Structure 1
Amino acid sequence: MTQARRIAIVDDEPSVRSGLSNLLQSEGYATIAFPSAEAFLNDGQAQPAIALVIADLKLKGMSGAMMFERLQLSPAPPPVIFISGHDDESWQRYAGKPGAVAFLRKPIDIDILLEYVQRVLANSEDNS
């Protein structure tokens, strides 16, 4: 039996992790949440089942941007939606890179997030 494709949420704020997870699950998506980039990258069992990553740019420890760079080294990296509550221009370096879907500022516009999620997951199903 294959594991369902999931959305990984990587954010060091517990309320953001649980809020996004609850929202996406209420829309029928399977999620898995991580408190840090390191926790996500070190979970070898979760990695193959990830269809999309929603990651904060500013994390304690490794940043979301550094995590993105590491993911790009894998044979089939998942697409990433960046989120941030900070007025940070570093995301612009990643905005045009393959695999970077969008940058959403916190508080996140839920309708826009769900539109991106739906589009990315529909595209990944079309390419499977």
Structure 2
Amino acid sequence: MQAEHGAARSVHVVDDEAMVRRSLTLLLQAAGIEARSYGSGEDFLRAAENGLPFGCVLLDIRMPGMDGLAVLRAMAARGLQLPVVVVTAHGDVPLAVEAMKAGACDFIEKPYAGATILRAVEAALGRGDEALERAREATEAAARLATLTPRETEVLQGLVAGRQNKVIALDLGLSPRTVEIHRANVMAKLRAGSLSEAVRIALAAGLPPAPPAARRGG
């Protein structure tokens, strides 16, 4: 289940030590950041089942029961797309590297300064904002792509492949003039002011590649 894509951003503090959760929550709230805390990886994942405000996760790597690595893997399996900053004990760099391989965007070693936590959180929230923007762009691009007819989609595939109108016409068995008309319709429906913008929209929407160009004898 994905996090809710709203305007609010939260930091989800996952740590088995109550004092750590409290100090991190107070630190974040003093910086004007909403913070929610969870005493175990299991608690965090249960909360995620009902949807979480978008933001980032401060995740302790060493916890009884489900440790941080297991939480990261469970997040990936469930499609829970939140940037994660892993908190590790001194000397746990190999574990931190494993965490980054599992999807964490950063790690912090204990003991840490409050300023270090806040910098890492701001960077992670920035990554989250970028991911949200990419998701919004992909959704909008897919909606525009859905307005194209099958033939217009084929013309767009040819354009994305870098083919000229006359080549697309030959591949599709159309006249160059007909391809020009379809191309104009594609640009209008995608609300693209240039070919490069049309290509960007097509790529954002995950447009499948065009079939190979037709073989032409010489």
| TM norm structure 1 | 0.85
Which one of the candidate residues 88, 103, 108 is aligned to 2:107? Answer: 103
**How many Å separate the matches in 1 of 2:56 and 2:69?**
15
Which digits, 9 at most, give the CA deviation of each residue in 1:57-103, with x for residues without a partner? 00111001110111012334211111123532222222245x41211
Q: State the match for 1:116 in structure 2.
A: 120
Identity %: 27
User: C-alpha separation between the residues in 2 aligned to 1:80 and 1:124?
Assistant: 10
Please identify runs of 4+ aligned residues in structure 1 that moved more than 6 A.
none
User: Which of 42, 66, 69 pairs up with 2:70?
Assistant: 66
Q: Which amino acid aligns with 2:60?
A: D
1:122 to 1:105, Cα distance in 2 relative to 1, 3 A: same
Question: Residue type matched to 1:23 in 2?
Answer: L
Answer yes or no: is the 8 Å Cα contact 2:83–2:127 preserved in 1: no
2:15 aligned to which of 2, 5, 11 = 11
Note closer, same or farther for the CA distance 1:50–1:121 as it changes in structure 2 (3 Å cut).
Answer: same
Shift of 1:3: 7.7
SS at the partner of 1:55?
strand
Q: Does 1:94 align with 2:105?
A: no
Contact 2:13 2:38 in 1 (8 A): yes
Unaligned runs of 5+ in 1: none
Distance in 1 (CA, whole Å) between partners of 2:23 and 2:79 is: 31
Assess if the C-alpha contact under 8 Å between 2:85 and 2:124 holds in 1: no
Native 8 Å contact 2:12 2:57 kept in 1: yes
Aligned residues: 125
What is the CA-CA distance between 1:6 and the residue it aligns to?
1.1
Equivalent-residue separation in structure 1 for 2:13 and 2:120 (angstroms): 14
Higher-Rg structure is: 2
- More deviation, 7-16/66-75: 66-75
With normalisation by structure 2, the TM-score equals 0.52
Output the amino acid matched with 1:5.
R
Tell whether the 8 Å contact from 1:83 to 1:104 is kept in structure 2 after alignment: yes
RMSD value over aligned CA atoms?
A: 1.9
**Pair 87,61 (structure 1): closer, same or farther in 2 beyond 3 Å:** same
| SS class of match (2:64) | coil
